[in-house]
């Protein structure tokens, strides 16, 4: 079986050139990943959603659309997660910017790449299907959905999506490699809810691309920008709130205390010492009451006089 080896010519570059190349790679590689990843995601999602919803009942069509977007995001996020973070959504980009996980320059670069990638993906899906098929149905309010209701539907669903992204990708853990799974299922759930009412944008790049390719911008197109961006800000604020109160340390301490309480025998008390989320120690000692001690108002044990 043939083997592939890297050329040794790269080793001939001096240290200064390596630094320049490395600095450029830190920018154009993630940008290219966001561009291609967004294009692939919407190529699969929009094209698949159109294909499965043709000639079906409304309920079956909504389920097929939800699967197309959820699975499309899941597989492309797994592919590009290690390259760019697999944001594919300007609203998620805004959340990452607010929480400090992206700098302003990179967030702007991602924003442009996501819009361009979305347009490419939808245009390719349109170009690969018969001309009489109107692919990439635009986002618009339907089935009696009012402007205010449509706005808040996009707002809250995007908030949920952004929060799930932040908690599964930015909070590094042993399960981070599985992040595309909950993110994909979140988008699946959002489409089950909103497709009937707003055609479930939850992504300004998707709404813009489908409208541009179809050459139709409705008067309520603005809610597919302001709503998701508002939801992204709310998700970022919620994430910062939990981080401020050290939710990871609290969770680790509660788990350690529970394990120690299970291991403790009758009449024994458990003390938890927390250094950080990775350094939690527990001490099992005889109960203050069982050993003839009492507990003072501040929680200190003192012996009867």
Q: What is the per-residue burial (b if ≥16 Cβ within 10 Å, else e) of 151-189?
A: bebbbbbbbbbbbbbbbbbbbeeeeeeebbebbbbbbbb
CB-based contacts of 209, cutoff 8 Å, min separation 6: 42, 115, 118, 119, 121, 122, 123, 136
**CA 83 to mean position of chain CA atoms:** 15
Helices (H), 128-176: 147-165
- Check whether 282 has a pLDDT greater than 50: yes
- Check whether 163 has a pLDDT greater than 50: yes
Question: What distance in Å separates the CA atoms of residue 270 and residue 263, rounded to the nearest whole number?
Answer: 10
pLDDT band at 258 (very low <50, low <70, confident <90, very high): low
pLDDT band at 2 (very low <50, low <70, confident <90, very high): very low
Question: What distance in Å separates the CA atoms of residue 137 and residue 45, rounded to the nearest whole number?
Answer: 12
Question: What distance in Å separates the CA atoms of residue 60 and residue 75, rounded to the nearest whole number?
Answer: 22
Q: Which domains does the chain have, with CATH numbers?
A: 14-245 (1.20.1080.10), 248-303 (no CATH)
At 129 the pLDDT is: 80
Kindly report, residue by residue over 80-114, the tens digit of the pLDDT: 998 999 999 999 999 999 999 999 999 999 999 99
């Amino acid at each position: 079986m043939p083997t592939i080896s890297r050329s040794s010519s790269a080793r001939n570059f001096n240290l200064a050139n390596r630094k320049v190349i490395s600095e450029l790679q830190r920018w154009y590689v993630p940008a290219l990943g966001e561009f291609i990843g967004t294009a692939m995601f919407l190529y699969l999602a929009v094209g698949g959603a159109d294909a499965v919803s043709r000639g079906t009942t409304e309920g079956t069509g909504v389920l097929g659309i939800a699967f197309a977007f959820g699975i499309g995001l899941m597989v492309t996020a797994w592919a590009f997660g290690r390259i760019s973070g697999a944001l594919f959504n300007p609203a998620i980009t805004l959340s990452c910017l607010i929480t400090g996980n992206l700098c302003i320059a990179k967030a702007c670069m991602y924003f442009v790449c996501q819009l361009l990638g979305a347009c490419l993906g939808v245009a390719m899906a349109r170009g690969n299907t018969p001309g009489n098929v109107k692919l990439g149905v635009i986002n618009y309010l339907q089935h009696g959905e009012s402007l205010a209701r449509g706005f808040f539907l996009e707002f809250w669903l995007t908030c949920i999506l952004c929060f799930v992204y932040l908690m599964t990708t930015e909070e590094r853990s042993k399960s981070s490699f599985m992040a595309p799974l909950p993110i994909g299922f979140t988008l699946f759930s959002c489409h089950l809810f909103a497709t009937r009412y707003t055609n479930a944008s939850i992504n300004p790049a998707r709404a813009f691309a489908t409208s541009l390719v179809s050459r139709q911008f409705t008067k309520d197109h603005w809610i597919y920008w302001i709503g998701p961006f508002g939801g992204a800000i709310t998700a970022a604020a919620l994430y910062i709130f939990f981080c401020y109160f050290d939710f990871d340390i609290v969770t680790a301490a509660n788990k350690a205390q529970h394990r120690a309480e299970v291991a403790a025998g009758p009449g024994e008390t458990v003390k938890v010492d927390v250094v950080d989320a990775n350094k939690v120690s527990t001490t099992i000692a005889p109960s203050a009451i069982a050993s003839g001690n009492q507990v003072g108002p501040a929680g200190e044990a003192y012996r009867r006089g």
